Amino acid sequence: MDHAAEIRAFLTSRRAKISPQQAELPAYGNRRVPGLRRSEVAQLAGISVEYYSRLERGNLSGVSGQVLDALTRALRLSQDDRTHLEDLARTAGPGSRRRRRPATATVRPNVRRLLDSMTGPAFVLNGRGDVLAANALGRALYAPMIEAARGATPNHARFVFLDPRSHQFWGDWERAADDLVALLHAQAGRDPYDKDLTDLIGELSTRSDEFRTRWAGHDVRQYHQGAKPIHHPVVGTLHLTYESLELPADGLILFAYGAEPGSDSEDALRILASWAADHDPDPAGHPHR
Protein backbone atom coordinates (compact mmCIF):
# COMPACT_ATOMS: atom_id res chain seq x y z
CA MET A 1 0.00 0.00 0.00
CA ASP A 2 1.37 3.43 -0.98
CA HIS A 3 1.40 5.22 2.37
CA ALA A 4 2.11 8.66 0.92
CA ALA A 5 -0.75 8.25 -1.55
CA GLU A 6 -3.08 7.28 1.31
CA ILE A 7 -2.15 10.44 3.24
CA ARG A 8 -2.61 12.59 0.14
CA ALA A 9 -6.00 11.08 -0.69
CA PHE A 10 -7.25 11.37 2.89
CA LEU A 11 -6.33 15.04 3.33
CA THR A 12 -7.61 15.91 -0.13
CA SER A 13 -10.92 14.17 0.53
CA ARG A 14 -11.36 15.99 3.86
CA ARG A 15 -10.83 19.48 2.43
CA ALA A 16 -13.12 18.64 -0.49
CA LYS A 17 -15.97 18.21 2.01
CA ILE A 18 -15.75 21.79 3.37
CA SER A 19 -17.02 24.77 1.43
CA PRO A 20 -15.58 28.27 1.89
CA GLN A 21 -18.93 29.30 3.30
CA GLN A 22 -18.75 26.59 5.97
CA ALA A 23 -15.24 27.74 6.84
CA GLU A 24 -16.43 31.37 6.88
CA LEU A 25 -14.06 32.32 4.09
CA PRO A 26 -14.87 34.50 1.06
CA ALA A 27 -15.61 32.44 -2.06
CA TYR A 28 -13.98 34.23 -4.95
CA GLY A 29 -12.54 33.26 -8.32
CA ASN A 30 -13.19 30.18 -10.41
CA ARG A 31 -12.94 27.04 -8.30
CA ARG A 32 -11.82 24.01 -10.26
CA VAL A 33 -12.13 21.60 -7.33
CA PRO A 34 -14.81 21.17 -4.66
CA GLY A 35 -14.21 22.39 -1.16
CA LEU A 36 -11.25 24.34 0.14
CA ARG A 37 -8.05 25.16 -1.66
CA ARG A 38 -4.70 24.22 -0.12
CA SER A 39 -4.00 27.86 0.59
CA GLU A 40 -7.28 28.16 2.49
CA VAL A 41 -6.54 25.12 4.64
CA ALA A 42 -3.10 26.55 5.39
CA GLN A 43 -4.67 29.88 6.33
CA LEU A 44 -7.18 28.23 8.66
CA ALA A 45 -4.48 26.07 10.25
CA GLY A 46 -2.05 28.95 10.68
CA ILE A 47 0.76 27.31 8.71
CA SER A 48 2.47 28.18 5.45
CA VAL A 49 1.07 27.00 2.14
CA GLU A 50 4.42 25.35 1.39
CA TYR A 51 4.33 23.36 4.62
CA TYR A 52 0.72 22.25 4.15
CA SER A 53 1.47 21.26 0.55
CA ARG A 54 4.32 19.09 1.84
CA LEU A 55 1.97 17.41 4.30
CA GLU A 56 -0.65 16.78 1.64
CA ARG A 57 1.96 15.25 -0.65
CA GLY A 58 2.22 12.51 1.96
CA ASN A 59 5.07 13.68 4.17
CA LEU A 60 3.71 13.55 7.73
CA SER A 61 6.96 12.33 9.24
CA GLY A 62 7.81 14.32 12.35
CA VAL A 63 4.63 16.42 12.33
CA SER A 64 3.89 17.87 15.78
CA GLY A 65 0.76 17.44 17.85
CA GLN A 66 0.12 21.17 17.55
CA VAL A 67 0.03 20.93 13.77
CA LEU A 68 -2.32 17.93 13.95
CA ASP A 69 -4.56 19.98 16.26
CA ALA A 70 -4.54 22.84 13.77
CA LEU A 71 -5.40 20.52 10.87
CA THR A 72 -8.18 18.96 12.92
CA ARG A 73 -9.75 22.38 13.45
CA ALA A 74 -9.19 23.59 9.88
CA LEU A 75 -10.57 20.45 8.26
CA ARG A 76 -13.27 19.95 10.91
CA LEU A 77 -12.18 16.37 11.46
CA SER A 78 -14.30 13.97 13.47
CA GLN A 79 -12.70 12.08 16.35
CA ASP A 80 -12.30 9.02 14.12
CA ASP A 81 -10.75 11.21 11.38
CA ARG A 82 -8.33 12.68 13.93
CA THR A 83 -7.35 9.23 15.18
CA HIS A 84 -6.75 8.14 11.59
CA LEU A 85 -4.59 11.20 10.92
CA GLU A 86 -2.53 10.40 14.01
CA ASP A 87 -2.11 6.82 12.81
CA LEU A 88 -1.00 8.03 9.39
CA ALA A 89 1.54 10.35 11.02
CA ARG A 90 2.83 7.61 13.34
CA THR A 91 3.29 5.09 10.54
CA ALA A 92 4.99 7.71 8.36
CA GLY A 93 7.90 7.96 10.79
CA PRO A 94 11.19 6.08 10.47
CA GLY A 95 11.10 2.54 11.83
CA SER A 96 7.29 2.36 11.82
CA ARG A 97 7.40 -1.08 10.23
CA ARG A 98 9.11 -2.41 13.34
CA ARG A 99 7.22 -0.56 16.06
CA ARG A 100 3.76 -2.03 15.60
CA ARG A 101 3.21 -5.40 17.20
CA PRO A 102 1.35 -7.60 14.71
CA ALA A 103 -1.93 -9.23 15.69
CA THR A 104 -1.75 -12.90 16.53
CA ALA A 105 -3.19 -15.42 14.10
CA THR A 106 -4.48 -17.72 16.83
CA VAL A 107 -6.86 -17.25 19.73
CA ARG A 108 -5.60 -18.09 23.21
CA PRO A 109 -7.39 -20.86 25.17
CA ASN A 110 -8.39 -18.37 27.88
CA VAL A 111 -10.11 -16.22 25.27
CA ARG A 112 -11.88 -19.25 23.80
CA ARG A 113 -13.16 -20.16 27.27
CA LEU A 114 -14.41 -16.59 27.66
CA LEU A 115 -16.24 -16.87 24.34
CA ASP A 116 -17.90 -20.12 25.39
CA SER A 117 -19.03 -18.59 28.70
CA MET A 118 -20.95 -15.82 26.93
CA THR A 119 -24.67 -16.38 26.44
CA GLY A 120 -25.03 -14.28 23.28
CA PRO A 121 -23.31 -14.66 19.90
CA ALA A 122 -19.63 -13.75 20.36
CA PHE A 123 -16.58 -13.68 18.10
CA VAL A 124 -12.89 -12.84 18.01
CA LEU A 125 -11.89 -10.73 14.99
CA ASN A 126 -8.74 -9.13 13.69
CA GLY A 127 -8.56 -5.67 12.12
CA ARG A 128 -9.19 -7.10 8.64
CA GLY A 129 -12.56 -8.52 9.70
CA ASP A 130 -11.45 -12.17 9.76
CA VAL A 131 -13.55 -14.26 12.15
CA LEU A 132 -10.89 -16.22 14.03
CA ALA A 133 -13.09 -17.84 16.67
CA ALA A 134 -16.73 -17.92 17.76
CA ASN A 135 -18.94 -19.55 20.35
CA ALA A 136 -21.67 -21.97 19.31
CA LEU A 137 -24.37 -19.30 19.02
CA GLY A 138 -21.98 -17.07 17.09
CA ARG A 139 -21.28 -19.83 14.59
CA ALA A 140 -25.02 -20.42 14.23
CA LEU A 141 -25.69 -16.71 13.67
CA TYR A 142 -22.91 -16.42 11.09
CA ALA A 143 -23.70 -19.75 9.41
CA PRO A 144 -24.23 -18.11 5.97
CA MET A 145 -20.86 -16.32 6.22
CA ILE A 146 -19.10 -19.49 7.38
CA GLU A 147 -20.67 -21.49 4.57
CA ALA A 148 -19.65 -18.84 2.03
CA ALA A 149 -16.00 -19.12 3.18
CA ARG A 150 -15.94 -22.78 2.06
CA GLY A 151 -13.49 -23.92 4.70
CA ALA A 152 -11.33 -20.80 4.71
CA THR A 153 -11.36 -18.19 7.47
CA PRO A 154 -14.61 -16.21 7.16
CA ASN A 155 -14.08 -12.54 6.40
CA HIS A 156 -16.75 -9.86 6.76
CA ALA A 157 -15.66 -7.82 3.75
CA ARG A 158 -15.39 -10.77 1.36
CA PHE A 159 -18.87 -11.89 2.39
CA VAL A 160 -20.40 -8.43 2.00
CA PHE A 161 -18.85 -7.53 -1.34
CA LEU A 162 -18.33 -10.88 -3.06
CA ASP A 163 -21.29 -13.03 -1.97
CA PRO A 164 -24.83 -12.11 -3.11
CA ARG A 165 -26.30 -13.80 -0.02
CA SER A 166 -24.97 -10.94 2.10
CA HIS A 167 -27.67 -8.63 0.70
CA GLN A 168 -30.30 -10.82 2.32
CA PHE A 169 -28.32 -11.54 5.51
CA TRP A 170 -27.59 -7.93 6.48
CA GLY A 171 -30.85 -6.10 7.06
CA ASP A 172 -29.21 -2.84 6.00
CA TRP A 173 -26.66 -3.91 3.40
CA GLU A 174 -25.66 -0.37 2.37
CA ARG A 175 -24.78 0.56 5.93
CA ALA A 176 -22.92 -2.71 6.47
CA ALA A 177 -20.88 -2.05 3.32
CA ASP A 178 -20.11 1.55 4.33
CA ASP A 179 -19.09 0.46 7.82
CA LEU A 180 -16.74 -2.25 6.61
CA VAL A 181 -14.90 0.00 4.19
CA ALA A 182 -14.53 2.68 6.87
CA LEU A 183 -13.15 0.08 9.28
CA LEU A 184 -10.67 -1.23 6.69
CA HIS A 185 -9.50 2.33 5.97
CA ALA A 186 -8.91 2.89 9.68
CA GLN A 187 -6.98 -0.39 9.91
CA ALA A 188 -4.87 0.58 6.88
CA GLY A 189 -3.87 3.74 8.72
CA ARG A 190 -2.87 1.78 11.82
CA ASP A 191 -0.96 -0.92 9.95
CA PRO A 192 -0.21 0.05 6.33
CA TYR A 193 2.42 -2.67 6.00
CA ASP A 194 0.07 -5.59 6.69
CA LYS A 195 0.43 -7.64 3.51
CA ASP A 196 -2.74 -9.64 4.14
CA LEU A 197 -4.69 -6.39 4.45
CA THR A 198 -3.13 -5.01 1.28
CA ASP A 199 -3.99 -8.22 -0.57
CA LEU A 200 -7.59 -8.10 0.71
CA ILE A 201 -8.05 -4.49 -0.41
CA GLY A 202 -6.53 -5.31 -3.80
CA GLU A 203 -8.81 -8.31 -4.24
CA LEU A 204 -11.94 -6.38 -3.32
CA SER A 205 -10.96 -3.40 -5.47
CA THR A 206 -10.52 -5.69 -8.46
CA ARG A 207 -13.68 -7.73 -7.99
CA SER A 208 -16.24 -5.28 -6.59
CA ASP A 209 -17.35 -1.94 -8.03
CA GLU A 210 -19.29 -1.30 -4.80
CA PHE A 211 -16.11 -1.65 -2.75
CA ARG A 212 -13.96 0.37 -5.14
CA THR A 213 -16.39 3.30 -5.12
CA ARG A 214 -16.56 3.36 -1.33
CA TRP A 215 -12.81 2.97 -0.90
CA ALA A 216 -12.25 6.11 -2.97
CA GLY A 217 -14.27 8.11 -0.40
CA HIS A 218 -11.59 7.63 2.31
CA ASP A 219 -14.11 7.66 5.15
CA VAL A 220 -12.93 6.19 8.45
CA ARG A 221 -14.89 5.13 11.50
CA GLN A 222 -14.56 2.96 14.59
CA TYR A 223 -17.52 1.04 15.95
CA HIS A 224 -17.40 0.14 19.63
CA GLN A 225 -21.14 -0.22 20.08
CA GLY A 226 -24.29 0.01 18.02
CA ALA A 227 -27.14 -1.98 16.48
CA LYS A 228 -27.50 -4.20 13.43
CA PRO A 229 -30.50 -5.87 11.80
CA ILE A 230 -29.72 -9.40 10.60
CA HIS A 231 -31.98 -11.67 8.56
CA HIS A 232 -31.13 -15.26 9.45
CA PRO A 233 -32.36 -18.08 7.17
CA VAL A 234 -33.50 -20.15 10.17
CA VAL A 235 -35.09 -17.66 12.60
CA GLY A 236 -35.85 -14.63 10.43
CA THR A 237 -35.04 -11.01 11.24
CA LEU A 238 -33.19 -10.14 14.44
CA HIS A 239 -32.53 -6.65 15.75
CA LEU A 240 -29.32 -6.95 17.73
CA THR A 241 -27.08 -4.58 19.62
CA TYR A 242 -23.33 -5.10 19.70
CA GLU A 243 -20.31 -4.22 21.81
CA SER A 244 -16.66 -4.61 20.91
CA LEU A 245 -13.67 -4.85 23.24
CA GLU A 246 -10.02 -4.70 22.26
CA LEU A 247 -7.67 -7.47 23.37
CA PRO A 248 -4.41 -5.47 23.53
CA ALA A 249 -2.18 -8.45 24.28
CA ASP A 250 -3.26 -10.10 21.04
CA GLY A 251 -4.09 -7.17 18.76
CA LEU A 252 -7.55 -8.68 18.33
CA ILE A 253 -11.17 -7.67 19.04
CA LEU A 254 -13.84 -9.42 21.08
CA PHE A 255 -17.21 -8.73 19.46
CA ALA A 256 -20.54 -9.71 21.04
CA TYR A 257 -24.21 -9.37 20.06
CA GLY A 258 -27.19 -9.08 22.38
CA ALA A 259 -30.95 -8.61 22.17
CA GLU A 260 -33.35 -6.43 24.11
CA PRO A 261 -34.75 -8.44 27.05
CA GLY A 262 -38.26 -9.71 26.35
CA SER A 263 -38.04 -8.89 22.64
CA ASP A 264 -38.83 -11.11 19.66
CA SER A 265 -35.11 -11.05 18.84
CA GLU A 266 -34.27 -12.53 22.26
CA ASP A 267 -36.77 -15.33 21.59
CA ALA A 268 -35.24 -15.86 18.14
CA LEU A 269 -31.77 -16.21 19.68
CA ARG A 270 -33.10 -18.92 22.00
CA ILE A 271 -34.53 -20.78 19.03
CA LEU A 272 -31.22 -20.35 17.18
CA ALA A 273 -29.33 -21.74 20.19
CA SER A 274 -31.51 -24.89 20.06
CA TRP A 275 -30.89 -25.18 16.34
CA ALA A 276 -27.14 -24.78 16.91
CA ALA A 277 -27.07 -27.76 19.26
CA ASP A 278 -27.82 -30.03 16.28
CA HIS A 279 -26.13 -28.06 13.50
CA ASP A 280 -22.86 -26.69 14.94
CA PRO A 281 -20.29 -27.21 12.17
CA ASP A 282 -17.34 -27.14 14.58
CA PRO A 283 -17.87 -27.85 18.30
CA ALA A 284 -14.17 -27.12 18.87
CA GLY A 285 -14.94 -23.41 18.41
CA HIS A 286 -13.33 -22.68 15.06
CA PRO A 287 -15.57 -20.63 12.76
CA HIS A 288 -14.53 -22.58 9.66
CA ARG A 289 -14.77 -26.23 8.84
Q: What structural domains does the chain harbor?
A: 3-99 (1.10.260.40), 109-279 (3.30.450.180)
> Nearest-5° angle of CA 20, CA 21, CA 25?
55
**What is the per-residue pLDDT across 41-84, written as a single tens digit (0 to 9) for each?**
999 999 999 999 999 999 998 899 999 999 999 999 999 999 99
Instruction: Give the pLDDT confidence score for residue 3 in this predicted structure.
Output: 83
Strand, coil or helix: 222 = coil
Spatial CA neighbour of 102 closest among 224, 223, 225, 193: 193
Q: Which residues is 252 bridged to in the sheet?
A: 247
pLDDT value at 15 more than 80: yes
d(CA 28, CA 277): 68
Q: How confident is the model at residue 21 (pLDDT cuts 50, 70, 90)?
A: confident
pTM of the model: 0.84
Average pLDDT over every residue of 243-258: 94
